[in-house]
Structure 1
């Protein structure tokens, strides 16, 4: 009896100490992982990309330029002064005639004067657009014999028919060019007579309007400055070695944008 009770206790103790044994896997079954929904396991997380606008689309905040908006601040323009009808050029030379007791002025004039002067907004002369020309062949005085002598001998108009002045600078005139009132100032440039070019300064007095400028310009030089000889004829006792040039001008004014 004692032996039977001991055997029962021994068996019970062994069952309590032995761990549970897992069932061996079936020999024909392969271990297969449980698959999730299609595409979740292998698809990478998409990277955000910038979406470009269609070529014909305009963003809401983009400003579309208005035609002409880039030139809203207009540039200063040029002013073109063109000689108009009524302009006359003259020379004056003091002479002593044999038949007179006192010296007098020999005066020859022509209205064959052409050209223009171009100024920028600061009254600076634009050389490429500025030139004045006088046709010396048309000079006339009160004495035809004098005219013939001067054309043929003094200025040699058959070789040098034109006198040309190319202005380069205006001095003493306010800027911008006035459209009213009067002013005196100087114009400097190169004068060409008898095939010789020399710098010359003109004294100018002018009255200004919206579309016209009227006035007179004068200058003086000696015969020898332009390689000319003083006239010598039997009816003239003496001729002063000074030639005064005068231009009574009428300029038509045009304002042009750059």
Structure 2
């Protein structure tokens, strides 16, 4: 009788361990793939909120684009990075609307410009991730901002009509976490009735900025990510 109980106990113990192992693997998979919201799509010029891309409106779009501009309402910026969360691949996205900047256009070229992102205000879908981002990852108390500044003119070739888009290559310096590095990337610009919008994604290798990619508690972050931005410009 005692031997039979011991055998049953061992089988229950083995079954319990196996069940726990399955749940430990399946739990994150189910949560990430069926419960957790999908990450926001990349910022783009497609149907930008609050813009009027109709050709029939009158405004700054019909007066030319030369002169001074500033980043206005409707602008966004943030990060996009791949994570491994308890063995499952996920994409983490954090964003803020606290973006400032300016741009000077002469002819069909942006001859100078910069924009600054308030990193302390960046939010994702996870308070825990946001706490790590502001603390041990980015140390926003010491380095509260990220800044990009053009170092070469951006030549758009021609001024687009209202509603049209043009693409160009931008080169400049990105300052994050107290470190500055040269960067180059493609950007798209769309003229609207009242101004224009600019969209792009700047690749970031964390080690280049003295940032240690998080790897703790079942969460590992890739060594590279990107800073996304969608900037709406108004007359300065």
Q: TM-score range by the shorter chain?
A: 0.5 to 0.7
1:79–1:120: 8 Å Cα contact kept in structure 2? yes
Q: 1:31-42 residue pairs with structure 2 within 5 A?
A: none
Alignment pair present for 1:242 and 2:224: yes
C-alpha distance in structure 2 between counterparts of 1:179 and 1:197, whole Å: 36
Query: In structure 1, which of residues 180, 188, 200 is the aligned counterpart of residue 183 of structure 2?
Result: 200
Q: Corresponding residue for 1:39? A: none
Shift of residue 230, structure 1, vs aligned partner:
0.5
User: Which structure has more RCO (C-alpha within 8 Å, separation ≥ 6)?
Assistant: 2
Name the one with the larger helix percent. 2
1:170–1:186: 8 Å Cα contact kept in structure 2? no
Unpaired runs of 5+ in structure 2?
A: 1-64
1:179–1:208: 8 Å Cα contact kept in structure 2? yes
After TM superposition, the score normalised by the length of structure 1 is 0.61
SS at match of 1:125: strand
SS at match of 2:104: strand
After TM superposition, the score normalised by the length of structure 2 is 0.67
1:213–1:253: 8 Å Cα contact kept in structure 2? no
Alignment pair present for 1:84 and 2:60: no
The RMSD of aligned alpha carbons is 2.1
1:167–1:188: 8 Å Cα contact kept in structure 2? yes
Q: Corresponding residue for 1:251? A: 233
Q: Which string of whole-angstrom CA distances, capped at 9 and with x for unpartnered residues, describes residues 71-108 of structure 1? A: xxxxxx9522211101010201100111xx53110111
Alignment pair present for 1:223 and 2:223: no
Q: Corresponding residue for 1:132? A: 115
C-alpha distance in structure 1 between counterparts of 2:93 and 2:208, whole Å: 20
Unpaired runs of 5+ in structure 1?
A: 1-76
Give the length in aligned residue pairs.
172
Alignment pair present for 1:153 and 2:141: no
Name the one with the larger strand percent. 2
